[in-house]
């Protein structure tokens, strides 16, 4: 197996390097951004946190692993003897505490996980970062992968949850189990221990965490609520009794009739009916006139005097 150091720290003269203080050679810009996205949230408020956060994250066959803490905590609680004494000058910078990520990178292959002790992490810090400590300009130290023979067989973690009560579980043991997961199922995932702000979980930065019991309850409850919202979408449609309906006849293309044309046709029909009535009246009138004329012609004619004057007899009678 081969590993390479990955260190995020400031130095005595320079602030944090955005590309890490120490990283493997050929560690691409995309991988640097990805690694930072998993490490940076764990460094928030690290000066107020009296402990260690352990991180494991895998992507595209590459795994990063390590610890986040204040350098003072690391020196005072993780080192012993001469190492602790030699590390004291770097536990603070002119009295100011600072946080670090001390870790390593390895390829997700084989069936063994690397075992890297706190002493090993300090040796990498001492070898690659202390020579840069007093330099006025910061540079990222690039290191080749090197053989690592401190290994342990990987075993598949079997957990029913991804949220753990930090007061109950052993986060170091859980850390190693997620190292095994990086080998056995190296899909994208990220584990961080002792997370205080569950927003990092809700934002998808970490998929597994150890946190307080109250935060575990909140996360589990929100997972159930999300599953409940998605459940109706996944259920098959219920069968309903079909109501027989008339088969729809194929549409026959017709030419739409404008409203104006319909109105005009109606007026034409009404005009035709009126004309027919008028014609019948004329015919009846003519017929009546003919009947009267025939009757007059067949009656006995009178002379003009009789037509224009009364008879004498009539006149006398009136007198």
Q: Counting every residue, how long is the chain? A: 319
Note whether 28 and 130 are within 8 A (CB): no
Whole-number pLDDT of residue 122: 97
Question: Residue 242 CA to chain centroid, in angstroms?
Answer: 36
| Sign of torsion over alpha carbons 293, 297, 300, 306 | positive
Averaged pLDDT, groups of 10, the chain, 319 residues long: 96 94 95 94 85 93 95 96 96 93 93 94 97 92 96 78 86 90 76 86 86 88 81 57 54 50 51 71 81 65 40 37
pLDDT of residue 135: 93
pTM higher than 0.85, yes or no? no
Q: Determine the Cα–Cα distance for residues 202 and 164; give it in Å rounded to an integer.
A: 15
Question: What pLDDT score does 264 carry?
Answer: 47
Q: For residues 233 and 30, give the distance between their C-alpha atoms in angstroms, rounded to a whole number.
A: 36
66's CB contacts (< 8 A; 6+ apart) are 6, 54, 55, 101, 102, 103, 104, 121
Taking the C-alpha atoms of residue 45 and residue 199, their distance in angstroms, rounded to an integer, is 14
State the pLDDT at residue 236: 56
Q: How many CB atoms lie within 10 A of CB 142?
A: 15
pLDDT at 13 (0 to 100): 94
- Residue 270 has a pLDDT of 59
Asked whether 134 and 78 are in contact (CB, 8 A), the reply is no
Specify whether the CB–CB gap between 32 and 19 falls below 8 A.
Answer: yes
pLDDT of residue 242: 57
Residues ≥6 apart with Cβ < 8 Å to 190: 38, 55, 56, 57, 58, 205, 206, 207, 208
Task: Give every CB contact of residue 49 below 8 A, 6+ residues apart in sequence.
Answer: 69, 70, 194, 196
Yes or no: say if 116 and 146 are a contact pair by the CB < 8 Å rule: no
Q: Can you tell me which residue has the tokens 């056995």? A: 184
CA angle 65-71-72, nearest 5°?
140
Please provide the DSSP assignment of 171-229 as one string.
Answer: HHHHHHHHHHHHHHS-SSEEEESS---THHHHTTS-SEEEE-HHHHHHHHHHHHHHHHH
């Amino acid at each position: 197996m081969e590993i390479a150091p990955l260190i995020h720290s400031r130095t005595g003269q320079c602030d944090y390097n955005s590309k890490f203080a120490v990283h493997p050679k050929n560690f691409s810009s995309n991988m640097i951004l990805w690694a930072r996205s998993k490490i940076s949230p764990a460094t928030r408020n690290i000066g107020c946190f009296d402990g260690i956060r352990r991180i494991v994250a895998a992507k595209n066959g590459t795994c990063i692993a390590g610890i986040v803490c204040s350098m003072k905590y690391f020196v005072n609680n993780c080192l012993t003897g001469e190492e602790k004494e030699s590390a004291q000058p770097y536990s603070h910078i002119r009295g100011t505490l600072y946080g670090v990520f001390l870790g390593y990178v390895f390829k997700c292959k084989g069936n063994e996980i690397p075992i890297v002790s706190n002493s090993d992490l300090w040796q990498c810090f001492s070898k690659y970062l202390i020579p840069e400590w007093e330099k006025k300009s910061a540079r990222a130290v690039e290191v080749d992968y090197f053989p690592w023979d401190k290994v342990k067989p990987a075993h598949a973690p079997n957990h029913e949850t991804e949220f753990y009560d930090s007061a109950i579980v052993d986060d170091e043991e859980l850390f190693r189990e997620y190292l095994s997961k990086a080998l056995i199922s190296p899909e994208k995932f990220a584990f961080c221990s002792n997370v205080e702000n569950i927003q990092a979980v809700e934002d998808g930065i970490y998929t597994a965490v150890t946190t307080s019991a109250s935060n575990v309850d909140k996360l589990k409850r929100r997972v159930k609520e999300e599953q409940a919202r998605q459940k109706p979408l996944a259920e098959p449609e219920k069968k309903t009794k079909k109501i027989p309906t008339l088969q729809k006849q194929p549409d026959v293309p017709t030419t739409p009739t404008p409203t104006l044309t319909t109105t005009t046709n109606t007026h034409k029909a009404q005009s035709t009916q009126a004309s027919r009535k008028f014609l019948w009246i004329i015919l009846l009138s003519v017929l009546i006139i003919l009947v009267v004329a025939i009757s007059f012609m067949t009656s006995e004619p009178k002379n003009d005097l009789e037509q224009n004057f009364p008879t004498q007899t009539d006149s006398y009678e009136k007198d």
